[in-house]
Amino acid sequence: MGKLKMIADPKLYYIETGVLRLTMATGPPNYKIILCGEYGVGKSSIFRRFMNDTFTLETSKKSTIGLDQSSRGFNINGTDVKLTLWDTGGMERMSFIGSSYYRGAHAALLCYSVKNKETFTILSQYILDIVMNAEGAKIFLCGNMADCEGENQVTDIDIENFERECGDVLSGMYKISCKDNSGVFDMFKDMARVLHQEALGKMTLRRELNVIRPGESPENDESQKKKCC
């Protein structure tokens, strides 16, 4: 057995040995996901499906003002993990709220409406925002309103072209309908799986016994410092 090291935040920590990975935590690993995308694409509808599985087809347009967050647990291959979803209005992208919204995000769910091409073509700007403000966050693409049809529809070819332009930037792509509740839960479960797999991958790179938080680099690792001249 190696040494046990303390970290600044005692709420969540892992002990890892070569053969045994034991979670000793007051709660499961918690991954922050931010909703991004133009106003009206259904971010708050996704948020409400996530939070309490409800949907309202509002006729009067009410944009989200300020920030909202909600957490939910998922079981990934026998391990409990938690996702915390953050929502804000599409109009508030460039506002003062921006930096705290992006800070510490493990992932961004980039949303567009499949019935409105303009909400799709603008996504590269959101990718820039995410890369600049939420360093290391994984980016997932979500086409909402899959129940709708129209002339201004985002086509499969549009999506293929976008995927090609993005290279390796996208960690997952989904098509959902909040109205029909199709694909929403599966999307979050898949995101939880990808995020947790990534965090475990980072941990298993460690050779010695270490205590780290999933998804974080070992900044407090004394053994690494000693190796340095």
Ligand X SMILES: Nc1nc2c(ncn2[C@@H]2O[C@H](COP(=O)(O)OP(=O)(O)OP(=O)(O)O)[C@@H](O)[C@H]2O)c(=O)[nH]1
Binding site for ligand X (CB under 6 A): 39-45, 56-58, 63-64, 89-90, 144-145, 147-148, 177-179
For residues 23 and 64, which CB has a smaller minimum distance to Mg ion in the complex?
Answer: 64
69: contact with Mg ion by CB under 5 A: no
Identify the residue among 64, 71, 79, 223 touching Mg ion (CB under 5 A).
64
For residues 64 and 181, which CB has a smaller minimum distance to Mg ion in the complex?
Answer: 64
For residues 129 and 216, which CB has a smaller minimum distance to Mg ion in the complex?
Answer: 129
70 in Cβ contact with 47 (< 8 Å): yes
70: contact with Mg ion by CB under 5 A: no
- Return contacts of 70-74, CB within 8 angstroms, 24+ apart: 71/30, 72/188, 73/28, 74/188, 74/189, 74/192
For residues 13 and 102, which CB has a smaller minimum distance to ligand X in the complex?
Answer: 102
Identify the residue among 30, 44, 113, 116 touching Mg ion (CB under 5 A).
44
Q: If contact means CB under 5 to 8 A according to the sort of partner, which of ligand X, Mg ion, none does residue 219 touch?
A: none
Instruction: Report the DSSP beta bridge partners of residue 13.
Output: 24
Nearest distance, CB of residue 41 and ligand X, angstroms: 5
What is the C-alpha separation between 73 and 49, in angstroms, rounded? 14
What is the C-alpha separation between 188 and 216, in angstroms, rounded? 21
Q: If contact means CB under 5 to 8 A according to the sort of partner, which of ligand X, Mg ion, none does residue 144 touch?
A: ligand X
Site of interaction with Mg ion (CB under 5 A): 43-44, 64
